[in-house]
């Protein structure tokens, strides 16, 4: 009896399990993909469409479509009961629309003075009005027509995305490589080298994890002003390196520490120096951890706004992509329809990086989860 019931139980859970897992996976995929898809659709829609209807109106649906428009007769009694196209009702009723038996609807738009009467039918429709103009403005830069004091009109081309894209690359690539390099050395040292004060130093590095970078902005900027580093790429590389190092060291330490002791010991016996071991053994073995941290750091520096705002500023020659994106909405947010296209352009590179490194990423997620 007992075995039978437990066997039944196993069978039941084994059926329920995949459904639960697949179901929640599907839900997660929907939660992530739907907004991205909506963003993609919106980035191809015209400014007017974005402001007046949702992205889902591209899906065929039934809606009231205007067949013809008639001008209201001035003699109609707007404060009493009117008879329009076979429909009878008061002004308020017509404003809400009166549906006739033949499926058409009589609809009054506007007020009593300058209104119009629309005869509508309930039809299938979809809003397939796409444009590339948003991308054109994002990639090519907006053009402004500026009237000069002498009355002539001068056309000014605003900065486009290309310069900012290159600036972002210039900031991001060293800001990813430098901390990885330093952190890998440090992690190896903490994990496999014996020296006094090792524990204290390591605790200090880990403790830095909980320090928010915002409190470091003013002091660092003060130093940068003295060193003439503010507004330079070197300044922001160092800033990103500093802010990224504690996490990088901690993550790589836990991974490197977990490598099999035997391999390292046999290397030592064979007479390998620390540097040889690091280069020939540790680095190749910790590629998953290095790659997963590279993804983290790359995404963080690519999407960073605050650090860039403080340390390199918004001058067009050094401006990064996030800052350009924020400016794109216009002086008063009047061009926010461009954000969708801009967001997609700025997403391209992180997506490429993620997909090219993702086979390491899943393995790397386990980095540091099991201490050796």
Partner 1 sequence: MNRKFAPLFVLLLVASLLLAACPAATPTAEPAAEPAAEEAAPTAEVAEEAEAAPTAAAAEEDAHPGEEAAMAKGLTELAAAYHGDYEGTIVTMTGPFTDEDAVKFDNSMAAFEEATGIDIQYEGSKEFEASITVRVQAGDAPDIVDFPQPGLLGTFAKQGKVVPATVMIPEAWLAENYLQSWLDMATMEGPDGPAQYGVWQRFNAKSLVWYPKASFDAAGYPIPTTWEELQALQDMIVSDGDTPWCVGIESGAATGWAATDWTEEFMLRTTSLENYDAWVLGELPFESPEVKNAIESFATIWNDDSMVSGGRAAIVTTFFGDAPTGMFQDPPTCWLHKQGNFITSFFPEGTEYGVDYGVFYLPGIDAEYGSPFLVAGDIMAAMTDRPEVRAVMQFFSTGEGVKGWLAAGGALGPQKDVQLDWYGSDLERDIAGLVNNATSVRFDGSDLMPGEVGAGSFWKGMTDYFSGAADLDTVLAEIDASWPR
Nearest to partner 1 of 57, 175 (CB atom): 175
Interface residue with partner 1 among 189, 235, 258, 288 (CB under 8 A) is 235
What residues contact residue 241 under an 8 Å CB cut-off, 6+ apart? 175, 178, 179, 182
Q: How far is residue 163's CA from residue 166's CA, in Å, rounded to a whole number?
A: 5
Q: How far is residue 63's CA from residue 107's CA, in Å, rounded to a whole number?
A: 14
Strands (E), the chain: 61-70, 82-84, 87-89, 98-99, 104-109, 116-125, 143-147, 153-157
88: three-class secondary structure by DSSP: strand
Residue 43: phi, psi to the nearest 5?
-70, -15
CB 305 within 8 A of CB 323: yes
Stretch that binds partner 1, among 20-28, 127-135, 260-268, 303-311 (CB under 8 A): 303-311
* Contact flag: residue 3 with partner 1 (CB under 8 A): no
* Contact flag: residue 146 with partner 1 (CB under 8 A): yes
* Contact flag: residue 25 with partner 1 (CB under 8 A): no
Neighbours of 325 (CB within 10 A): 19
* Contact flag: residue 314 with partner 1 (CB under 8 A): yes
* Contact flag: residue 70 with partner 1 (CB under 8 A): no
Neighbours of 112 (CB within 10 A): 12
Stretch that binds partner 1, among 15-23, 97-105, 200-208, 319-327 (CB under 8 A): 319-327
State the Rg of the chain over Cα: 32
Interface residue with partner 1 among 281, 335, 343, 349 (CB under 8 A) is 335
% helix, strand, coil for the chain, step of 5: 60, 10, 25
Find the shortest distance in angstroms from Cβ 90 to partner 1. Answer: 10
* Contact flag: residue 342 with partner 1 (CB under 8 A): no
Q: How far is residue 154's CA from residue 126's CA, in Å, rounded to a whole number?
A: 40
Interface residue with partner 1 among 267, 281, 283, 349 (CB under 8 A) is 283
CB 241 within 8 A of CB 179: yes
- List the alpha helices (DSSP H) in 53-160: 91-96, 133-140
Q: How far is residue 90's CA from residue 132's CA, in Å, rounded to a whole number?
A: 46
* Contact flag: residue 257 with partner 1 (CB under 8 A): no
Interface residue with partner 1 among 32, 37, 56, 144 (CB under 8 A) is 144
Find the shortest distance in angstroms from Cβ 8 to partner 1. Answer: 54
Find the shortest distance in angstroms from Cβ 233 to partner 1. Answer: 5
Find the shortest distance in angstroms from Cβ 172 to partner 1. Answer: 13
Interface residue with partner 1 among 120, 230, 301, 346 (CB under 8 A) is 230
Element (H, E) at 244: helix 233-257
Distance in angstroms between the alpha carbons of the first and the last residue of the chain:
44
Stretch that binds partner 1, among 191-199, 222-230, 285-293, 362-370 (CB under 8 A): 222-230
Stretch that binds partner 1, among 15-23, 81-89, 328-336, 352-360 (CB under 8 A): 328-336
Stretch that binds partner 1, among 3-11, 242-250, 326-334, 358-366 (CB under 8 A): 326-334
Stretch that binds partner 1, among 6-14, 80-88, 243-251, 324-332 (CB under 8 A): 324-332
Of 224, 246, 247, nearest to 236 (Cα)? 224
* Contact flag: residue 68 with partner 1 (CB under 8 A): no
* Contact flag: residue 162 with partner 1 (CB under 8 A): no
Of 131, 116, 108, 120, nearest to 62 (Cα)? 120
* Contact flag: residue 77 with partner 1 (CB under 8 A): no
Nearest to partner 1 of 203, 306 (CB atom): 306
Which chain residues interact with partner 1 by CB under 8 A? 47-48, 51, 91-92, 95, 109-116, 142, 144, 146-149, 151, 154, 156, 158, 174, 177-178, 181, 217-219, 221-222, 224-225, 227-235, 237, 279-280, 283, 305, 309-310, 313-315, 323, 326-335
């Amino acid at each position: 009896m007992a075995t039978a019931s437990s066997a039944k139980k196993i069978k039941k859970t084994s059926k329920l399990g995949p459904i639960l897992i697949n179901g929640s996976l599907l839900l997660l995929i929907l939660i992530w993909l739907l907004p991205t898809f909506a963003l993609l659709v919106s980035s191809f829609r015209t400014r007017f469409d974005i402001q007046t209807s949702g992205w889902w109106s591209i899906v065929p649906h039934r809606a009231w479509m205007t067949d013809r428009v008639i001008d209201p007769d001035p003699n109609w009694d707007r404060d009493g009961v009117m008879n329009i196209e076979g429909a009878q009702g008061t002004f308020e009723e017509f404003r809400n629309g009166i549906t006739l038996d033949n499926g058409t609807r009589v609809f009054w738009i506007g007020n009593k003075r300058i209104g119009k009467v629309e005869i509508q039918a309930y039809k299938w429709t979809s809003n397939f009005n796409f444009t590339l103009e948003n991308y054109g403005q994002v990639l090519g830069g907006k053009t402004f027509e500026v009237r000069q004091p002498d009355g002539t009109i001068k056309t000014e081309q605003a900065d486009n995305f290309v310069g900012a894209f290159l600036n972002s690359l210039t900031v991001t690539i060293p800001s990813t490589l430098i901390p990885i390099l330093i952190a890998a050395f440090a992690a190896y040292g903490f994990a496999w080298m014996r020296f006094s004060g090792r524990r204290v130093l390591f605790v200090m590095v880990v403790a830095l994890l909980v320090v928010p970078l915002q409190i470091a902005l003013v002091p660092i900027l003060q130093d940068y002003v003295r060193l003439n580093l503010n507004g330079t790429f070197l300044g922001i590389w160092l800033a990103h390196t500093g802010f990224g190092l504690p996490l990088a060291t901690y993550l790589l330490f836990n991974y490197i520490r977990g490598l099999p002791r035997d391999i390292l010991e046999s290397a030592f016996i064979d007479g390998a120096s620390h540097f040889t071991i690091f280069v020939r053994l540790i680095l190749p073995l910790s590629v998953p951890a290095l790659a997963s941290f590279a993804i983290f750091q790359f995404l963080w520096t690519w999407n960073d706004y605050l650090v860039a705002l403080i340390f390199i500023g918004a001058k067009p020659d050094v401006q990064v992509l996030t800052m350009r994106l924020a400016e794109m909405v216009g002086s008063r947010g009047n061009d926010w329809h461009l954000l969708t296209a801009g967001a997609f352009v700025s997403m391209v590179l992180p997506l490429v990086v993620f997909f090219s490194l993702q086979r390491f990423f899943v393995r790397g997620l386990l980095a540091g989860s099991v201490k050796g």
